[in-house]
Structure 1
Amino acid sequence: MTQQRIDFAVASPDANKAMYALEAAIAKLGIEHSLIELIRLRASQINGCAFCVDMHTSDARKAGETERRLYAVSVWRETPFFTPRERAVLAWTEAQTLIAQAHPSDDVYAALAAELTPAEMVNVTLAIGAINTWNRLAVGFGKMPV
């Protein structure tokens, strides 16, 4: 288990404020809250961010997400619990989160384009970028669930 290194919010309040402003903007972009929480949870699982997995599992539960679906997010391809829209976004989330390993395939892009408008595609991608930044802050500086 990693020990907390620094409290990034205290070390740079302006950076933390900027991230919260980005989150406030994302909340106003019209993507359903349940889908945003699936994005946050899946990216956090991939990045091994214990703090964010804990937070976003709890947040999704509070927003009405079922235990069954939460347990299945890491194996979403193998379950019937997710809609085509959610499946397209989860695949895009994985591709964007793992972009250094391989760029998103044409198939993943086509599935996303079939389910989302161009604006939604951009907005979802922004949400993916934001959670990946939070994951890097939390993992890099050893933030743990409390």
Structure 2
Amino acid sequence: MSQERVHLSKSEPEAYKALDAFSREVGRIARDNGVDDRLKELVLMHCSQLNGCAYCTRVHHDRAVAAGISSDVMSQLPVWRESGVFSERERAALELAEAHTFIHRGGISDEVYDRVGAVLSEKEYLGVSWLAISINAFNRVVIAGRYPVPPLA
């Protein structure tokens, strides 16, 4: 049996508080740049799903419900390319979120940048990018520490 994992946020609370403050600032930036709660939660949930972060997926499920996103729409996130439930703007944001999540696969390609840029404004691009960067950081903290999945709210 392996040892209990180090709980990063409890072991270094100041670092976690800084990450939380960063995330809150990113949320403000996203909102100020035209990213509404629905789009924000779709991006945060999808990045968490792609990273395999059950904890953050659960947290953002509850927030998505509060933002008015139906269970049908949430169930379509993994297959957004084939699904007809997402707007062009949401599809562009999801594509950008995936590119940030898988940044190690060659960065943000010119093709993705051009497709997304044809739909999202520069400010929306910035908002979605910072959201993806922020949640990817949180996902890594949570996955590394194997945080238990909270119950549904």
- TM-score, normalization: structure 2? 0.88
C-alpha distance after superposition, 1:54-104 (max 9, x if no partner): 111121012210111000001001111000010001011111101112322
Are 2:8 and 1:8 aligned? yes
1:114 counterpart residue number: 118
- TM-score, normalization: structure 1? 0.92
1:97 counterpart residue number: 101
User: Identity percentage over the alignment?
Assistant: 32
How far is 1:6 from its partner? 2.2
Which of the numbers 80, 84, 93 marks the counterpart of 1:80?
Answer: 84
Aligned residues between the structures: 145
Could you tell me which runs of 5 or more consecutive residues in structure 1 were left unpaired when the two chains were aligned: none
Change (3 A) 1:86 1:3: farther
Bigger Cα displacement from structure 2, 45-54 vs 114-123: 114-123
The one-letter amino acid of 1:50's match is A
How far is 1:3 from its partner? 8.2
Whether the aligned pair in 2 keeps the contact of 1:4 and 1:143 (CA below 8 Å) is no
How far is 1:107 from its partner? 2.2
Using the alignment, how far apart are the partners of 2:138 and 2:24 within structure 1?
14
Could you tell me which runs of 5 or more consecutive residues in structure 2 were left unpaired when the two chains were aligned: none
Using the alignment, how far apart are the partners of 2:84 and 2:106 within structure 1?
26
Using the alignment, how far apart are the partners of 1:3 and 1:53 within structure 2?
25
The alignment's C-alpha RMSD in Å is 1.6
Change (3 A) 1:53 1:17: same
Runs of 4 or more, structure 1, over 6 Å off, are: none
3-state DSSP of counterpart to 1:134 = helix
